[in-house]
Amino acid sequence: MPAKSNELKIEDKLWEACDKLRGSMDQSTYRNVVLGLIFLKYVSDTFEERHAELEATEYPEDAEDRDFYDAENIFWLPENARWSVIAAAAKTPDVGTIIDAAMTSIENENDSIKGVLPKNYASDDLSKERLGEVIDLFTDVRVGDEESRKNDVLGRVYEFFLRKFATNGDGEFYTPRSIVRTLVDMIQPFSGKIYDPCCGSGGMFVQSKEFVSEHQGNILDLSVYGQEWNPTTWRLAKMNLAIHGIDNNLGPRNANTLLDDQHRGERFDYALANPPFNVKDWGADKVADDARWKWGMPGNSNANYAWIEHILSKLAPF
């Protein structure tokens, strides 16, 4: 019980610090700033731990050899993208520019997140003094080293922030963990292709990975496919899956699943989703001749049947 109390203190402390950043920023911008910092701290922690291991070997020069990171599925970080550089700049007026450059460098070195990371830390709307305070606090919290990964500090902190953002008026991308876990336990996705047509921040996939791990399976046996219409949330999902080490295909861009299927012709072994319910005027006339409506054209007054037919059309034959 005391351990749980300490965990919550870490989360609350982080939230209290990050909450200072809001100021004149809108919720979406603020969310990206905070979650981007969590992403950067995580990939830095994992990189720096591996870097220290390699420096302690007979060949310390291997610490700057990218191949030794790729082999462990660890993001390669150029020197300007490492947290030590960010932390050293925390008290300077250039800290936002330095973080933006770090995000760009990470994208350039890692194709799976190219064009995904937030790069608005140099914005005039973001107080550099407050940003520096948050960086100082993050510096004291480990989220990516081996011990933290074993205790899922990242998952706990990340979900805590998602839940906080959801309860502050922007919850379209968050499904409670208890519901997600129940759905995952029901379908038991051990291997094959799993699909979420409205994947939000990717929570269904993260829980699927945890299910596989808990049952001594191999996450490499599970292929992840998804789609998300909101551009901000699509990027968030790519970040979330990247920091959890989950390869994914969320389509080349964000798009409306019912009107612009990014996985046309694909079939999947599992579908796991929490679609938006009772959406009116969803644009049925734009896809009236679509092959997905083999059970009848769903009405435009409510998209529920469209979601059902879309998902059924995506399932592979038994």
Same domain, 66 and 85: yes
Contact indicator for 199, 183 with CB cutoff of 8 Å: no
Backbone angles phi, psi at 315, to 5 degrees: -80, 135
User: 135 and 182 share a domain?
Assistant: no
Same domain, 293 and 207: yes
DSSP letters of 137-189? Answer: HHHT--SSSHHHHHTTHHHHHHHHHHHHHHHTT--TT---HHHHHHHHHHH--
Phi, psi (rounded to 5 degrees) for 41: -65, -40
Q: Tell whether 148 and 236 lie within a shared domain.
A: no
Co-location of 188 and 103 in the same domain: no
Give pairs for 291-295: CB < 8 Å, separation 24+. 292/261
| pLDDT score recorded for residue 3 | 43
Structural domain contains residue 172: no
Q: Supply the pLDDT for residue 150.
A: 61
Rounded to the nearest integer, the mean pLDDT of the chain is: 87
| Number of domains the chain contains | 2
CATH number, domain at 247? 3.40.50.150
Q: Do 193 and 163 fall into the same domain?
A: no
Residues of the chain with pLDDT under 70: 1-10, 23-24, 26-28, 144-156, 166-174
Range(s) of the domain holding residue 67: 2-167
Do 150 and 183 share a structural domain? Answer: no
At 32-51, the pLDDT tens digits run 888 889 889 989 998 999 99
* Whether residue 232 is found in the same domain as residue 92: no
* pTM, rounded to two decimals: 0.82
Contact by Cβ (8 Å): 28, 55: no
How far, in Å, CA of 317 to CA of 61, rounded? Answer: 52
What's residue 5's pLDDT?
41
242 occurs within a structural domain? yes
- Per-residue pLDDT tens for 277-315? 999 999 999 999 999 999 999 999 999 999 999 999 999
Please report the pLDDT score of residue 140 as a whole number. Answer: 81
End-of-domain residue from the set 108, 139, 167: 167
- Token pair recorded at residue 91: 């008290």
